[in-house]
Amino acid sequence: MTLSSLKLAALASRGPMPFVVAALGIFLLSAMDALIKGVATAHPTAQIVFMRYACGLPWALLFFAFARPPAPSSEMVRAHVLRGVLVVITAFLFFYALATLPLAEAITLTFLSPLFLAVLAAIILKEPIPPAVLIAIVVGFVGMTVIVAGKVGGGQFDIVRVLGIGAAVSSALAYAANLVLLRKRAQTDPFGLIILFQNLFPLIIIAPFAWAVWETPELRSWLIFLGIGGFGLAGHLCMAWAFRHANAGPLGVLEYTALIWSAGLGYLFFAEVPAWTTWAGAALIVAACLAVIRK
């Protein structure tokens, strides 16, 4: 049996568990997005990005102390500094999109990331794209197109929405690049270091920009920021574990389930009622996810 066959057999032995854990991670990150939208108009975007990682750092340090990973190599640190840059770009663009677009619409536009992810994984990680996964991604993309078509109709496409949509799409590209690098590092790097670096390096990178626009948060904002840090850490921990035990392409399709969570959270907390096109697109998206999991 070849080395590639052994790797595939090891991944297959995990069964559906990586997909279940990834789905839980996406739900936690969707809850984090709802909390971010709750403070998106009260504070500058750079400050929100800073607070997201500042409030996540204590949780990351606790996990680091519990896991007690070995000291990182210089090569590992350099790789995670690059991840830190990608994380900051992703978060800044996406938080801006959350401030300017409805929750479900902002998250829906980031569904371009599985398309970017599958291509980047094939180029960088040399992962094959099975025909079933490729078809599922296309079906999911069609569902996303249906939703966007319903959102931008009715003469509502102004300059603010254009900037928000551009930020969401650009965030999807940066996010896909980050996931590919995460998939690569998760094969060798200890979880404790991955989680610590994912909070520490973005915090250091965004700190000067946050300081320049700092506004003192109220008690409500502090509580939301603490929730953002906790949900963000738990969600990324789930995603890191899942990407360590399954290929990036199939897991990327599960990002589409964030639409379901965002629609429900948007309705509960922001009175955002999804249009029929949202549900029509969601049906295609869920079908794509189920097809990939079954495969």
Q: What pLDDT is attached to residue 194?
A: 85
Most confident region among 3-7, 10-14, 152-156 by mean pLDDT: 152-156
Contacts of residue 137, Cβ cutoff 8 Å, sequence gap at least 6: 114, 115, 118, 249, 252, 253, 288
Looking at residue 118, its pLDDT comes to: 73
Distance in angstroms (rounded) separating the CA atoms of residues 161 and 110: 15
Q: Where are the chain's structural domains?
A: 16-294
Mean pLDDT confidence for 93-120: 80
Measure the CA–CA gap between 90 and 250, rounded to whole angstroms: 21
CA distances from 41 to 35, 87, 212, 247, 254 (A): 12, 21, 17, 37, 29
**What DSSP character marks residue 111?**
G
Residue 13's pLDDT is: 46
Structure tokens belonging to residue 237: 């921990």
pLDDT at 211: 94
Which residue, 222, 235, 213, 219, is CA-closest to 45? 213
pLDDT digits (tens, 9 = 90+) for 162-195: 788 789 889 988 988 888 888 778 778 887 888 8
Cα-to-chain-centroid distance, residue 257? 12
Query: DSSP code of 213?
Result: T
Give every CB contact of residue 61 below 8 A, 6+ residues apart in sequence.
196
Residue 170's contacts (CB-CB under 8 Å, 6 or more residues apart) are 93
Give pTM, 2 decimals: 0.72
CB 64 within 8 A of CB 193: yes
Question: Residue 190: left (phi > 0), alpha (psi -120 to 50), or beta?
Answer: beta
